[in-house]
Amino acid sequence: MMKTGWRLLALLMFLGAGAGLQGCSEEATTGSGPDGGDTSAELQIDLEDPTGGLTSENEEPGFGDDFYNQALAEDTPVSDQLADGEDIVESASDRVFFLRVEWGNLVEAPEIAEDEADCGKLSWDGNLFANNENAIIPLTTIRFERRGEYADALVFPRTSRSLLEWTSTTGCGRDGVLVRIVIPETDEGGTPPDIEPTITFDTPNLTKTIPLADLAGYEETVMIDDENGVRFVGYEKGDLDDLCARGPLVGVWGTIDDADIPTGYLRAVWLNPVGQTHGHMRGRWGFTEDGRRVWRGKAINHLGTYMGHVNGTWAPGDGHGGDFAGRW
């Protein structure tokens, strides 16, 4: 059966992470991805069963579905010579944070928008700025278009390692960046200036400053209208080594309008804080016979090895698509 309706729950969760899939926590965030296509397999998932009736067997990588490859097709690694600075390399063992920021239309999926003009056009030309001469190293651009009226780009050469600038225009889609933030040692080998280190996101539509000390586990979505907003997800270096490491879920939470009952599906790629694929997840959401809002699914690693069953609850959102939480 084909999906005929789509909406993105600007989900916060997950557990197992999204603002990432967290193997052991209850908070995670998603991004967006291409049309989910055939959803007949998801409709076979039993919402009355905590495991969804799914097996514990290994699967083909990405469940044998090209959707999972296409979900990250527009994410591009960035090479920046500032990352090779001696003080940055020497500091990379500890005081390091990561921030993923996505801006634009957080509700609609650009792949199925009927008319780009209906979404309006917003300029997000702006920057990230770190005070105290702390360094911002871009790791990945998210869904940047390279040409046409929506062409997006980071600004090089950079004028400062503390400032990352870009040009960006969105319509029915969204753009974003994943960056590493490093607090270098001072020349004297002491501590940085006695000023709270922060990072500031500055665009015509939103300006927001976040203390670096708050980035570990940071998740926030700020809507500027019914469809457009900015999603922030932060991590610290320890999340790279933790068994329950955080990382974004990038994918779709879709509705199936031609199903007999209100229901839908979830497909997502689980990334680690530096944007590397950790695993994949697929599942179904809907209502149980007694009216509870639940979702059930299965998670595998990037090789297809079974990681666990996932299940939880979901709710429509106030000012955004909605939220879901769960455990495996």
What are the phi and psi torsion angles at 240 (to 5°)? Answer: -70, -30
DSSP summary character for residue 178: E
- Tens digit of pLDDT for each residue in 60-78? 999 999 888 887 777 888 9
Task: Identify the pLDDT of residue 2.
Answer: 32
What is the SS3 assignment for 320?
coil
Give residue 312's pLDDT. 92
Domain check: are 225 and 272 in the same one? no
Residue-wise pLDDT for 142-157, tens only, equals 989 876 667 789 999 9
What percent of the chain shows pLDDT beyond 70?
73
Higher pLDDT, 256 or 3: 256
* 286 SS3 class: strand
Boundary residue ending a domain (181, 214, 240): 240
Q: What is the pLDDT of residue 57?
A: 97
Report the alpha-carbon distance of residue 130 to residue 179 in Å, rounded.
Answer: 11
15 and 82 belong to one structural domain: no
Helices (H), 214-304: none
Number of domains in the chain: 2
What is the DSSP secondary structure assignment for residue 185, as one 8-state letter?
Answer: P
159 and 265 both lie in a single domain:
no
| Residue 14 confidence (pLDDT) | 34
Residues 221 and 123 in one domain: yes
| Average pLDDT value for residue range 187-205 | 79
Do 81 and 229 have their domain in common?
yes
pLDDT of res. 119: 79
pLDDT computed for residue 164 by the predictor: 97
Which residue would you say has higher pLDDT here, 251 or 150? Answer: 251
* Mean pLDDT score across all residues of the chain: 79
pLDDT at 84 over 70: no
Q: Per-residue confidence at 25, pLDDT binned at 50, 70, 90?
A: very low
Query: Looking at the structure, do residues 131 and 221 belong to the same domain, yes or no?
Result: yes
Mark whether 156 and 233 lie in a shared domain.
Answer: yes
In the listed set 222, 240, 258, which residue is the last one of a domain according to the structure?
A: 240
- What is the C-alpha to C-alpha distance for residues 120 and 124, in angstroms, rounded to an integer? 13
Q: Using one digit for the tens of pLDDT, what is the confidence trace for 208-219?
A: 999 999 998 899
- Phi, psi at 90, each rounded to 5°: -65, -30
pTM of the complete model: 0.77
Over residues 257-297, the pLDDT tens digits come to: 777 778 999 999 988 878 888 899 999 999 999 999 999 99
* Domain span including residue 26: 5-72+244-327
Same domain? 235 vs 124: yes
Residues 28, 9 contacting (CB under 8 angstroms): no
How large is the average pLDDT for residues 11-40?
A: 42
State the Cα–Cα distance between residues 232 and 63, nearest whole angstrom.
Answer: 29
